[in-house]
Amino acid sequence: MTSMPLPAAPKHTSRPASTQAGQDALKELRTNEVFVAIVGPAGAGSGTAAKILKTFFEENDFEAEIIKASSIIRRVAESRGYLVPNDGERKSLENVQIMQDRGDELRKGELYGLPEDHSAIARLVLKEIAECRAQLQRQSFSGGPVIPDGTRRAYIIDSLRHPAEVALFREVYQEAFTLLGIVCDPAKREKRIRENLFDRAQWSDRDIQEKVRMFLTRDENAPEKYGQHVSDTFYEADFFVDNSQDAGDNLALTGMNDQIRRFVSLITQTKIVRPSIAETAMHQACSAQMRSACLSRQVGAALVDLHGNIVSTGTNDVPKAGGGLYGESFTIQVDGDERCAFRDTVYCSSNREQNKIIDELFEEFPQLIEGKEKADVLKAIRSTRIGGLIEFSRAVHAEMDAILSASISGTSPRACRMYVTTYPCHYCARHIVASGIDEVQFIEPYPKSKATELHCDSITTESTEWTPPSTGGTHVLFRPFVGVAPNLYRRVFLKDRNYKDKISGEFAFGAPQWGSPTDVYKIAYSSMEAELGLELENV
């Protein structure tokens, strides 16, 4: 937005809190602002999602503003004289890659005389939001705080490319911040990139197709830490929508519309919305995930039958004799807990065994370390697939734990669906297929998995015209989870207000007495102590 000379921002004022009830005093301190960022790999349609969000927030009586990170990157780069594509010219792959470079340079910091800061673009967005709020409130912006005036506003950030950006926004905006993840079939994204950035005659060119794949790889997981890491950013989302359906330029026809409308209803708390079976199952999987004491990662799984009942849950941890895992007891186990984290000498068995293999290589091929630091060579080899070997882990994987738990309880996993926080590894994939499970939904990717590569005969990621194996199909479906993510589940589904008149029983959608799930306040808690603290001794 362009700047203009406007009156200075007024200081925050309110009636003395001692003359109001606590909940009334808090109400005056609420910002009534929400912040929604979007993350999606290239070609997923983040810009389209931002426009749809704006429309639906405005339908719910919010002022809605789209903050485009790419516009900020362009403006900053131009101010330093760095090359950027001409504004308004047709997009090309080369121009998009130039903008990737400019974003990477901001996070790296060197060209701007700054330290490496992976949240740098998010910090620029913070400043843009403050300037935008000042304009909306008809105030001049001098760089200082712009206190919200209580108007209901939604700031839509299009879009994030690094997990550090998410971390910064969560710290700053807390419960008022949510991240919307855009799911889209990889083949569909690749097709959109070719059609949007190249002439029709080039769409089937193999060199063009390879360039697009390389571009998408850099977008999702660049080799540099300061590069784009959309894949890592994506699974931090609070809500996932699927945009695999093509709708052209008609925003009313995208496959995201109903999903985004539901998301806005949850954030604005304007109607009663209840969780789906899938959302509850993934929430259970996340709960199971937190039981794990694995030194490498925590994974959770939930198995659901045909009727939506939770059959079992599982986590990745060390098995114990007699069945089950260590840590599964009505008492907190201290003595006799033989998990890696709690035994006398704490270490990861998987890492140790991998390193033994590497030591054998050094002994057999001493030229590998000639003239080099052994530790450096060890680190380099560990970055190869040797460091990704999973056969030496002591832990039963979450998916296997869920399958075994169901079997021990006498329930067949056949025709069940599995919800897992991380994409299954190829070890688990073969057991999932063999156990008769129909479908797997996941949030976090697992690039080391060879599940679809090794079991393409029995696993598919294509949901179009898919038939469950339990009804005659030939493939288990692995697909991304869509809906409310576990970290948003409690905030939006816990009943925090009256739904009826307590006398007549008539429906009456009330307001929460102590604030909604997305409320944040205009002042810091230290100021709230002074403003809300009740003084009676001298009254």
Comparing CA positions, the residue from 364, 342, 251, 253 lying closest to residue 293 is 342
User: Helical H runs in 420-500?
Assistant: 426-435, 451-454, 486-493
Phi and psi angles of residue 218, each rounded to the nearest 5 degrees, phi first: -65, -40
Q: Express each pLDDT in 488-513 by its tens digit.
A: 999 999 999 999 999 999 999 888 88
Q: How far apart are CA 186 and CA 190, in angstroms?
A: 6
| Contact call for residues 315 and 533 (beta carbons, < 8 A) | no
pLDDT at 328: 82
At residue 443, what is the residue type? I
The larger pLDDT score, comparing residue 333 to residue 226, is at 226
Q: Which residues contact 227 (CB under 8 A, 6 or more apart)?
A: 104, 107, 218
Task: Report pTM.
Answer: 0.90
Q: Express each pLDDT in 6-35 by its tens digit.
A: 555 555 555 555 678 888 889 899 999 999
Average pLDDT over residues 140-154: 95
pLDDT at 2: 47
Comparing CA positions, the residue from 49, 25, 45 lying closest to residue 36 is 49
What rounded mean pLDDT belongs to the chain?
91
Which residues make beta-bridge pairs with 422? 444
Phi and psi angles of residue 131, each rounded to the nearest 5 degrees, phi first: -65, -40
Average pLDDT over residues 351-375: 91
pLDDT of 5 strictly over 70: no
Q: How far apart are CA 133 and CA 150, in angstroms?
A: 11
Q: Which two tokens stand for residue 192?
A: 């959109």
pLDDT at 128: 97
Q: Express each pLDDT in 91-137 by its tens digit.
A: 899 999 999 999 999 999 999 999 999 999 999 999 999 999 999 99
Q: In the chain, what percentage of residues exceed pLDDT 70?
A: 95
Most distant CA pair in the chain, distance? 85
Q: How far apart are CA 278 and CA 289, in angstroms?
A: 16
Which residue's structure tokens are 């995201």?
256
pLDDT band at 148 (very low <50, low <70, confident <90, very high): very high
Q: What is the DSSP string of 358-375?
A: HHHHHHH-GGGSTTS-HH
pLDDT at 6: 53
Q: Express each pLDDT in 189-224 by its tens digit.
A: 999 999 999 998 898 899 999 999 999 999 999 999
Which residues make beta-bridge pairs with 34? 154
Q: How many CB atoms lie under 10 A from the CB of residue 199? A: 10
Q: Kind of pairing, strands 483-484 and 476-480?
A: unpaired
Q: Express each pLDDT in 300-349 by its tens digit.
A: 999 999 999 999 999 999 999 989 999 887 776 667 888 999 988 999 98
Q: Express each pLDDT in 246-296 by its tens digit.
A: 766 676 778 899 999 999 999 999 999 999 999 999 999 999 999 999 999
Q: How far apart are CA 539 and CA 18, in angstroms?
A: 11
Highest mean pLDDT among 87-96, 120-129, 358-367, 388-397: 120-129
pLDDT of 1 strictly over 50: no
pLDDT band at 450 (very low <50, low <70, confident <90, very high): confident
Element spanning 356, H or E: helix 349-364
The larger pLDDT score, comparing residue 4 to residue 119, is at 119
Q: In the chain, what percentage of residues exceed pLDDT 90?
A: 74
pLDDT at 248: 63
Q: Express each pLDDT in 323-332 by its tens digit.
A: 999 988 777 6
Q: How long a stretch of residues is the chain?
A: 539
